[in-house]
């Protein structure tokens, strides 16, 4: 059967969401072609504000990268704007002359920013705020200029103002209305929000009418002039005065438009049933929606009909707004302004920064608006959407769901939070259409314990993030006693002290402590010499903080590290010589074979890290076998250390016909650069020469994947007991950049990670955004981190070499630390002091 041709005009969130849903229902029904005016894959437009504020990078907001289209067999024309729809020939044409025929056409052209018709609106430095290009232009302007003016005090305008202020600009928000966010808030709520924003440095000019933009000496905008004749300086003007549906293409094709492309309940255009439309460009029953949740509802119905099922109907959306505006929680839904036929229940705590207003009509909740405390927003929205009679709840309604139902004698629910009381059918994540029942099912069946795991399996809380608190409550409610909302990083290092890892690290740095005895005294350790838990941690913190001043303490290391071999269950040892990047030579192989025969090694095994393991070596033979291997030029693979373990590589473009980069060469460079590096826990790297990823770079502490234009770097993966997929850090162009970005990431991990904390847990604790700010966004910070790593590794005392050169038999007579935190500290102290 011939596949039909589906062409999608618009590569935004609504159009691609429709494709995602369609591919679930009918993956083989269409040959799909997508035209997108921007030169990117599909990204989360909601998160442009964190990018502007420097909290996220562009890679963080990508929803579907270019590989996704390729993997799904979708032809993407990125950076190509469709300029004509030939309905008679069923053909679309782009601005580069390319054309694509269709059997079905989906229009998802979104919206356009409203640019007030002002004199000077076309000057350099006057921008809208809708896409990645606008965001990048604003970031660039913030580096060079001081004064910014944002025209419009809606959500987008306030987020733009906040982002520019965080980048160091003096920002004035100009708004024609009497209060900010006048479509989402009433006046008291807006005034409370405005006060909090002014405290952060923003300036507001309300009920202000802009007359013109003034040109400066360099031909760039220099000031904004008001109708009363006053003016304010403006090196950058951001127009955030609203949006309008982008209907130009549809109108040129003579599709019926009225404040949007008019569609039926099946999302077909009323003019041509072969053409569908979704998103901000659509007018459905006279309403055009600008929030993501209604657009995703449209996408699901549209996909149902494109798949041929024909049973879905879109009947409009009841919308709510739950947002975090520059750190302040805001919620509104329904008719929150009220009127003569309505009753209002109001709580206004100016000092506490909290405002709540509930609007009742005919014993039903008609609207709600809240600032500061929005925890019960989901419950109020549920009451509003269902039209539930709240007469019996009225006296307690303001105090939230848990209190209201407990006062009504619902003893079965007393003590439970609002998440436990929500029905399974309650929609928790409006952006992705995820109900409570789906989240609870995933938690139970998949064994989920963290918010990130819930996001990964259900997509709840993965878009705008406004439902994050409720998702966490559902997690706590479902796990019951298994859920511990305690900061695990606030626990003491061990029973010898009340100090946390963070406090110990800070004291060593701030007090310039350079030995374990000095540290124990300075921090009033409760035992004279520490224990098997704290001494290795202190040893690491000292040598990583002062690499050229502190000498390693062998007695604060376990037997594996002192013997340069892993003890096995029968008491013998495993010896693993290093093979740089997994490469070896016939001479090295002969040396390993000679050693295996000479010392009667019973088992020789190739490891998962592309090395050779000699298993079953007797303890007494360790000094001699290492001496023989050293003589052949082979050093320890550190298969036992809290340090660099391996750099796994594929054969790369050196040999593979699919390879795009020199994987083996890159792997060897990284391994030699990092040799001898101490770290909080073991570190494993991998370099794959192409996206086929034969070296398994996606589950390493640092994974480097070659692509046609350079490398992609991933971090914080783990292939251990609980596999963690590495997270995308950045894309770089060449080998030197790979080394710099990798070195900077590992150095920030070395400086901030807690002892025995893997990179995945470190990044989970501090947040990937924090790492990206230091390693990707701030070039000076990245360079400084990289230089500190190179400094630590350059000419530093090498305890591995010193210990390998020393008679190992003598070292075995020292105390052998065992990982038992509650061990005999008195005996340990005697042995260490002897």
Could you list the residues known to form a binding site for siroheme, using ranges.
694
Q: Under a CB-based contact definition with an 8 Å cutoff, are residues 660 and 690 in contact?
A: yes
Q: How many CB atoms lie under 10 A from the CB of residue 273?
A: 12
175 forms bridges with which residues in the sheet?
206
What span, in angstroms and rounded, lies between the C-alpha atoms of 433 and 455? 13
CA 609 to chain centre: 29
What span, in angstroms and rounded, lies between the C-alpha atoms of 687 and 667? 6
What span, in angstroms and rounded, lies between the C-alpha atoms of 561 and 803? 10
DSSP state of 351: T
172 forms bridges with which residues in the sheet?
149, 203
Q: How many residues does the chain have?
A: 834
Strand-pair category, 82-86 with 91-94: antiparallel
85 forms bridges with which residues in the sheet?
92
CA 488 to chain centre: 21
Q: How many CB atoms lie under 10 A from the CB of residue 657?
A: 6
> Which residues are within 8 A (CB) of 277 and not within 5 positions of it... i.e. 6 or more apart?
106, 107, 108, 250, 261, 263, 267, 269
Locate 41 and state its tokens.
């894959």
Q: How many CB atoms lie under 10 A from the CB of residue 620?
A: 11
What span, in angstroms and rounded, lies between the C-alpha atoms of 380 and 358? 9
Q: Under a CB-based contact definition with an 8 Å cutoff, are residues 447 and 310 in contact?
A: no
Q: Under a CB-based contact definition with an 8 Å cutoff, are residues 127 and 152 in contact?
A: no
What span, in angstroms and rounded, lies between the C-alpha atoms of 458 and 469? 15
Residues making up the binding site:
650, 656, 690, 694
Q: Under a CB-based contact definition with an 8 Å cutoff, are residues 11 and 76 in contact?
A: yes
Q: Under a CB-based contact definition with an 8 Å cutoff, are residues 660 and 650 in contact?
A: no
State the residue for tokens 């918010």.
451
Half-sphere exposure at residue 622, Cβ-oriented, CA atoms within 13 angstroms = 31
DSSP state of 702: E
370 forms bridges with which residues in the sheet?
331, 356
713 forms bridges with which residues in the sheet?
704, 730
Q: Under a CB-based contact definition with an 8 Å cutoff, are residues 792 and 544 in contact?
A: yes
Half-sphere exposure at residue 477, Cβ-oriented, CA atoms within 13 angstroms = 23
What span, in angstroms and rounded, lies between the C-alpha atoms of 672 and 579? 10
Q: Under a CB-based contact definition with an 8 Å cutoff, are residues 454 and 448 in contact?
A: yes
Locate 11 and state its tokens.
């590569």
What span, in angstroms and rounded, lies between the C-alpha atoms of 652 and 521? 53
CA 604 to chain centre: 42
What span, in angstroms and rounded, lies between the C-alpha atoms of 491 and 482? 18
Report the sign of the C-alpha dihedral through residues 182, 183, 187, 190, in that order.
Answer: negative
3-state SS, one letter per residue, for 539-569: HHHHHHHCCCCCCCCHHHCEHHHHHCCEECC
Residues making up the binding site for [4Fe-4S] cluster:
650, 656, 690, 694
What span, in angstroms and rounded, lies between the C-alpha atoms of 530 and 519? 10
Q: Under a CB-based contact definition with an 8 Å cutoff, are residues 164 and 138 in contact?
A: yes
CA 461 to chain centre: 12
Q: Under a CB-based contact definition with an 8 Å cutoff, are residues 671 and 658 in contact?
A: no
Residue 14: closest CA among 53, 51, 46: 46
Report the sign of the C-alpha dihedral through residues 14, 18, 19, 24, in that order.
Answer: positive
């Amino acid at each position: 059967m011939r596949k039909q041709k589906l062409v999608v005009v618009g590569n935004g969130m609504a159009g691609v969401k429709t494709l995602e849903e369609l591919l679930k229902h009918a993956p083989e029904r269409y040959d799909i072609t997508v035209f997108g005016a921007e030169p990117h894959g599909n990204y989360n437009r909601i998160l442009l504000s964190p990018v502007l504020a420097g909290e996220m990078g562009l890679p963080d907001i990508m929803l579907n990268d270019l590989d996704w289209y390729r993997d799904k067999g979708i032809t993407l024309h990125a950076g190509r704007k469709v300029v004509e729809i030939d309905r008679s020939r069923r053909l679309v044409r782009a601005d580069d002359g390319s054309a694509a025929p269709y059997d079905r056409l989906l229009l998802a052209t979104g919206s356009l920013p409203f640019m007030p018709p002002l004199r000077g609106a076309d000057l350099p430095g006057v921008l809208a705020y809708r896409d990645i290009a606008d965001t990048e232009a604003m970031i660039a302007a913030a580096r060079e200029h001081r004064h910014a003016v944002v025209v419009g005090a809606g959500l987008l305008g306030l987020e733009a103002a906040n982002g520019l202020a965080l980048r160091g600009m003096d920002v004035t928000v100009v708004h024609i209305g009497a209060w900010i966010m006048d479509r989402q808030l009433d006046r008291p709520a807006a005034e409370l929000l405005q006060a909090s924003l002014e405290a952060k440095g923003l300036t507001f000019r309300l009920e202000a009418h802009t007359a013109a933009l003034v040109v400066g000496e360099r031909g760039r905008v220099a000031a904004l002039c008001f109708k009363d004749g006053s003016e304010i300086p403006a090196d950058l003007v951001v127009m955030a005065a609203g949006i309008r549906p982008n209907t130009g293409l549809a109108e040129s094709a003579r599709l019926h438009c009225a404040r949007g492309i008019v569609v039926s309940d099946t999302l077909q255009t009323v003019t041509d049933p072969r053409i569908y439309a979704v998103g901000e460009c659509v007018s459905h029953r006279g309403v055009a929606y600008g929030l993501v949740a209604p657009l995703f509802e449209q996408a699901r119905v549209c996909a149902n009909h494109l798949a041929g099922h024909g049973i879905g109907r879109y009947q409009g959306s009841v919308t709510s707004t739950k947002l975090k505006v520059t750190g302040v929680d805001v919620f509104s839904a329904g008719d929150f302004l009220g009127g003569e036929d309505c009753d209002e229940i109001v709580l206004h705590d100016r000092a506490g920064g909290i405002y709540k207003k509930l609007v009742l009509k005919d014993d039903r909740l008609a609207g709600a608006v809240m600032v500061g405390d929005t925890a019960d927003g989901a419950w109020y929205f549920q009451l509003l959407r269902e039209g539930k009679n709240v007469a019996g709840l009225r006296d307690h309604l303001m105090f939230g769901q848990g209190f209201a139902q407990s006062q009504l004698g619902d003893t079965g629910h007393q003590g439970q939070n609002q998440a436990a009381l929500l029905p399974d059918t309650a929609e928790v994540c409006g952006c992705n259409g995820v109900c409570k029942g789906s989240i609870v099912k995933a938690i139970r069946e998949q064994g989920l314990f963290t918010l990130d795991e819930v996001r990964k399996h259900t997509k709840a809380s993965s878009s705008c993030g406004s439902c994050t608190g409720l998702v966490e409550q559902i997690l706590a409610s479902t796990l019951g006693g298994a859920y511990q909302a305690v900061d695990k990083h606030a626990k003491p290092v061990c029973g010898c002290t009340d100090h946390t890892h963070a406090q110990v690290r800070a004291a060593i740095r701030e007090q310039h402590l350079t030995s374990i005895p000095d540290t124990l005294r300075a921090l009033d350790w409760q035992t004279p010499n520490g224990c098997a838990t704290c001494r290795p941690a202190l040893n690491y913190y000292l040598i990583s903080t002062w690499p050229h001043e502190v000498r390693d303490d062998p007695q604060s290391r376990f037997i594996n590290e002192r013997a340069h071999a892993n003890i096995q269950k029968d008491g013998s040892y495993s010896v693993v010589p290093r093979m740089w990047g997994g490469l070896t030579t016939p001479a090295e192989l002969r040396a390993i074979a000679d050693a295996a025969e000479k010392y009667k090694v019973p088992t020789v095994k190739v490891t998962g890290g592309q090395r050779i393991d000699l298993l079953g070596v007797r303890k007494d033979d360790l000094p001699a076998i290492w001496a023989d291997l050293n003589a052949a030029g082979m050093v320890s693979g550190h298969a036992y250390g809290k340090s660099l373990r391996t750099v796994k590589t594929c054969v790369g473009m050196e040999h593979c016909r699919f390879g795009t980069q020199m994987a083996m060469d890159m792997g060897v460079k990284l391994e030699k650069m990092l040799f001898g590096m101490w770290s909080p826990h073991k570190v494993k790297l991998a370099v794959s020469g192409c996206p086929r990823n034969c070296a398994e770079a996606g589950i390493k502490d640092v994974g480097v994947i070659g692509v046609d234009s350079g490398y992609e770097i991933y971090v914080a993966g783990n292939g251990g007991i609980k596999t963690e997929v590495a997270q995308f850090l950045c894309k770089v162009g060449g080998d030197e950049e790979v080394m710099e970005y990798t070195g900077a990431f590992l150095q920030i991990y070395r400086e901030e990670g807690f002892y025995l904390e893997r990179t995945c847990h470190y990044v989970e604790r501090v947040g990937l955004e924090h790492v990206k700010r230091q390693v990707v966004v701030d070039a000076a910070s990245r360079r400084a981190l990289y230089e500190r790593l190179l400094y630590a590794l350059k000419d530093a005392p090498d305890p591995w070499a010193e210990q390998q050169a020393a008679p190992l038999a003598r070292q075995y007579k020292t105390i052998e630390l065992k990982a038992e935190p509650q061990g005999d500290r008195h005996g340990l102290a005697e042995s260490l002091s002897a």
